[in-house]
Amino acid sequence: MINIAVVGCGYWGPNLIRNFETLEESRVKMVCDLDAGRLVNMKRLYPNAETTSDFEQVLNDDQIKAVVIALPTKFHYEAGKRCLLAGKHAFIEKPLASSVDQCEELVSLAKRQNLTLMVGHTFIYSSPVRKIKEIIDSGELGELQYINSRRLNLGLFQKDINVTWDLAPHDLSIILYILNELPRRVGCHGKAHVTPGIEDVTHMSLNFSNGGFALVHNSWLDPNKVREMTFVGTKKMLVYDDIEPMEKIKIFDKRVQKPPHYETFGEFQYSYHYGDMYIPHLKQVEPLKVECQHFLDCIKTGAKSESCGLEGTKVIRVLEAASKSLSDGGGEVDVL
């Protein structure tokens, strides 16, 4: 049995508490938050869990083997570092930290302490994303030409990070997981409408060295919640709509074909192929439960997590490049 402490029980923390509490191999021993009202609510739901507003109590409890950090982004690095220094495995919600330097320090510290460091890239543990990777790797779509991702909603407005740092980690973690490659250059445009200096609408472009291309549109200022990704290949096209309760993936047998050769302009015409659409079967499992179990498995076996600190650092590299592009007016920036 692995004793877990969850630090932060605001928006996402309760979901983590619920999943770790229901898994057979873990127990939520302690919940930490500065809000006394939240702690009262968690104690009512999980009477066997201790509650505290003192982070030091979490660090000093030798029975706690792993800490789950669900705090605002600006606290991820410091909280994660202190947990690792205290000899505790760390699960840090996305994004891993606020800079590449901070991420690299956490990765190095976890390696030195022989501890598991994992970041909460929940979507890569979902059945739809796993299926999409399987389909693309099989070559069914043909050569992947571009990806278009839209993650839009009204709020939740953040005060310490812009919409790119809030929402894009989901899109980026999916794209990097599926392509298994970092983009070479990134461009980003955006604007702050509600809070000065904090962009609430952004549009990012990713260019890969193999010719791949992706667009990521994020917004806190749209009337409808949208969670949609389109994958366009030379043979087929795939649409992933995470809002759909059942039919999350649809594959369209559609493509554009250029004539193999022509002698005059009149002979040059594109051919549009329209075939059937089908919906692959997906196993219905909660991605967060799979992710939490994966964290426990990595602690027990010492295996490398699929969303380890190195993978979390890759996402931050893209976000840092996007931030530089945003501040420079949208020009492309190298991903270092």
Q: pLDDT of 19-60, one tens digit each?
A: 999 999 999 999 999 999 999 999 999 999 999 999 999 999
Position 272 scores a pLDDT of 72
**CATH number of the domain bearing residue 83:** 3.40.50.720
Position 210 scores a pLDDT of 85
Partnered with residue 186 across adjacent β-strands are: 206, 333
Do 214 and 266 have their domain in common? yes
pLDDT-based confidence at residue 123 (cuts at 50, 70, 90) = very high
pLDDT-based confidence at residue 254 (cuts at 50, 70, 90) = confident
Do 41 and 150 have their domain in common? no
Do 30 and 15 have their domain in common? yes
Do 77 and 115 have their domain in common? yes
Q: What is the pLDDT of residues 178-191, one digit of tens each?
A: 999 999 999 999 99
Q: What is the pLDDT of residues 53-100, one digit of tens each?
A: 999 999 999 999 999 999 999 999 999 999 999 999 999 999 999 999
SS (H, E, C) the chain: CEEEEEECCCCCHHHHHHHHHHCCCEEEEEEECCCHHHHHHHHHHCCCCEEECCHHHHHHCCCCCEEEECCCHHHHHHHHHHHHHCCCEEEEECCCCCCHHHHHHHHHHHHHHCCCEEEECHHHHCHHHHHHHHHHHHCCCCCEEEEEEEEEEECCCCCCCCHHHHHHHHHHHHHHHHHCCCCCEEEEEEECCCECCECCEEEEEEECCCCCEEEEEEECEEEEEEEEEEEEECCCEEEEECCCCCCCEEEEEEEEECCCCCCCHHHCCCEEEEEEEECCCCCCCCHHHHHHHHHHHHHHHCCCCCCEHHHHHHHHHHHHHHHHHHHCCCCCEECC
Q: Hunting for tokens 């980003």 — which residue is that?
A: 188
Do 69 and 188 have their domain in common? no
Position 259 scores a pLDDT of 62
Do 130 and 113 have their domain in common? no
Dihedral (CA of 14, 97, 287, 59) sign? negative
Do 194 and 257 have their domain in common? yes
Dihedral (CA of 262, 266, 268, 273) sign? negative
In a domain, residue 281? The reply is yes
Do 214 and 178 have their domain in common? yes
Position 95 scores a pLDDT of 97
Do 163 and 206 have their domain in common? yes
In a domain, residue 77? The reply is yes
Mean pLDDT score of the chain, rounded to an integer? 94
pLDDT-based confidence at residue 266 (cuts at 50, 70, 90) = low
Position 67 scores a pLDDT of 98
Do 256 and 135 have their domain in common? yes
Do 81 and 226 have their domain in common? no
In a domain, residue 236? The reply is yes
- The pTM of this model reads 0.93
In a domain, residue 215? The reply is yes
Position 247 scores a pLDDT of 94
Show the domain range for 129: 124-285+317-334
Position 139 scores a pLDDT of 97
Q: In this model, does residue 114 exceed pLDDT 60? A: yes
Q: Token pair for residue 109?
A: 């510290």
The number of domains in the chain is: 2
pLDDT (mean) for 272-300: 92
Do 53 and 108 have their domain in common? yes
pLDDT-based confidence at residue 6 (cuts at 50, 70, 90) = very high
Question: Tell me, what amino acid is at 214?
Answer: A
In a domain, residue 185? The reply is yes
**CATH number of the domain bearing residue 238:** 3.30.360.10
In a domain, residue 312? The reply is no
